[in-house]
């Protein structure tokens, strides 16, 4: 194996951030072509179902794997997954993408091998998490296991073996990613903000945790469960609005206005802000006839997940590569493209149905190009040795 190939398997963030960013660009630009009627969805999937499945189990799960394989060793003090074991995880993720795309050309049952990645990821992080005395990380392991269950249900539903609609399984999977995002954001956004402000020699006064944190998760999980049971129902909508208010209150304690001069920070705060916007849109869509349900869906996906993923990947990659915590200038346009794509997808359709198709296409192109630019900027970083000479 070449030196760069060896380095790529040194730590989980390297291959999975590179693959996740590349797949975000490829799958989104392909989806724009599907939506425009230029190409078909691969694998015999219905277009919108393929798009939803691959944004969750392809793009988001690659980013989740890269983050957890890098963070769990720090949280638990255990050895990191690297080398051949990490190579197997990468191969399973790649196999899943190939099988999903080629499903209609394969014998029955082969496409379901896509399911192998999440159990392997759970195994890789499960030992360190369960062996640690710190129990606060166990819900994260549970979420990975439940994501596998949702993917299994989607495959079984698509094959007609269970009566659970594929759409319901994918909504459950999205909800799990949103809960995980809320957990991770609550840990790293205030921490990174505090550290950056203190490096400037200023008093941070960043607050996190406490009763407000518990209230955030009670309302976020409650809103998602209620909406899963009764989509667009009044109870779930009211709880979603309360979740939006609490998420905004939580972020206010992190002083986002002090991050505007630091792209690595303000993009993290932008991702969290999309969470509050998404829950606000979900609540309003269920209570008043102003917003379509797709507004909340894309605020949480293209907005919260997309923005948070590019923010975390770009910040974590620099920190773990031993590089200065300064955003490469060329990555800032990538941030702006992802934000513009999300904003267009969420709010553009409100301009009227006559512009809907063009807006959807433009948003997908902008969002996908943002991740393509991220890959172009970060590929040399992700495949190069740490600048400080440390392993990983």
DSSP letters spanning 93-150: HHHHHHHHHTGGGS-TTSGGGGGGHHHHHHHHHHHHHHHSS-GGGHHHHHHHHHHHHH
pLDDT of residue 2: 54
Residue % of the chain over a pLDDT of 70: 98
Q: What b/e readout covers 297-336, taking b as 16+ CB neighbours within 10 angstroms?
A: bbbbbbbbbbbbbbbbbbbbbbebbeeeeebbeebbebbe
5 confidence band (pLDDT: 50, 70, 90): low
The position carrying tokens 């932008």 is 270
Interval 250-305: pLDDT, tens: 999 999 999 999 999 999 999 999 999 999 999 998 888 777 888 999 999 999 99
Q: Which of 228, 338, 356, 217 is nearest to 295 (CA)?
A: 356
Q: 126 is written with which tokens? A: 């499960």
Q: What is the CATH number of domain 3-382?
A: 1.20.210.10
45: DSSP letter:
-
Q: Model-level pTM? A: 0.95
77: DSSP letter:
-
110 confidence band (pLDDT: 50, 70, 90): confident
Q: What b/e readout covers 274-296, taking b as 16+ CB neighbours within 10 angstroms?
A: bbbbbbbbbbbbbbeeebeeebb
């Amino acid at each position: 194996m070449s030196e760069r190939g060896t380095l790529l398997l040194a730590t989980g963030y390297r291959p999975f951030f590179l693959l996740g960013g590349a797949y975000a660009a490829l799958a989104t630009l392909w989806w724009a072509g599907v939506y425009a009627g230029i190409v078909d969805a691969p694998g015999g999937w219905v277009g919108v179902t393929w798009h939803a499945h691959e944004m969750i189990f392809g793009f988001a799960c690659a980013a989740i794997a890269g983050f957890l394989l890098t963070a769990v060793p720090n949280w638990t003090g255990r050895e990191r997954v690297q080398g051949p074991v990490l190579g197997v995880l990468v191969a399973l993720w790649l196999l899943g993408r190939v099988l999903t795309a080629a499903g209609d050309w394969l014998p029955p049952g082969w496409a379901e091998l896509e399911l192998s990645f999440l159990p392997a990821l759970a195994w890789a992080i499960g030992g360190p998490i369960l062996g640690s005395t710190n129990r606060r990380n166990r819900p994260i392991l549970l979420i990975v296991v439940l994501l596998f269950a949702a993917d299994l249900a989607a495959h079984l539903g698509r094959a007609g073996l269970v009566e659970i609609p594929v759409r319901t399984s994918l909504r459950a999977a999205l909800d799990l990613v949103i809960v995980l995002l809320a957990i991770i954001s609550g840990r790293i956004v205030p921490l990174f903000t505090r550290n950056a402000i203190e490096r400037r020699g200023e008093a941070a006064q960043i607050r996190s945790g406490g009763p407000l944190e518990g209230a955030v998760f009670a309302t976020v999980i409650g809103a998602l469960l209620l909406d899963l049971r009764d989509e667009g129902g009044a109870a779930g909508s009211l709880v979603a609005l309360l979740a939006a208010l609490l998420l905004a209150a939580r972020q206010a304690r992190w002083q986002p206005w002090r991050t505007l001069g630091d792209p690595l920070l303000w993009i993290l705060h932008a991702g969290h802000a999309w969470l509050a916007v998404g829950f606000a849109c979900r609540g309003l869509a269920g209570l008043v006839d102003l917003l379509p349900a797709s507004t909340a869906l894309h605020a949480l996906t293209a907005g919260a997940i997309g923005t948070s993923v590019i923010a975390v990947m770009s910040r974590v990659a620099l920190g773990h590569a031993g590089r200065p915590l300064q955003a490469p200038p060329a990555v800032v346009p990538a941030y702006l493209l992802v934000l513009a794509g999300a904003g267009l997808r969420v709010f553009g359709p409100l301009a009227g149905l006559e512009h809907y198709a063009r807006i959807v296409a433009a948003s997908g192109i902008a969002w996908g190009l943002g991740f393509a630019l991220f890959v172009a900027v970060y590929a040399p970083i992700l495949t190069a040795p740490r600048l400080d000479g440390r392993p990983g």
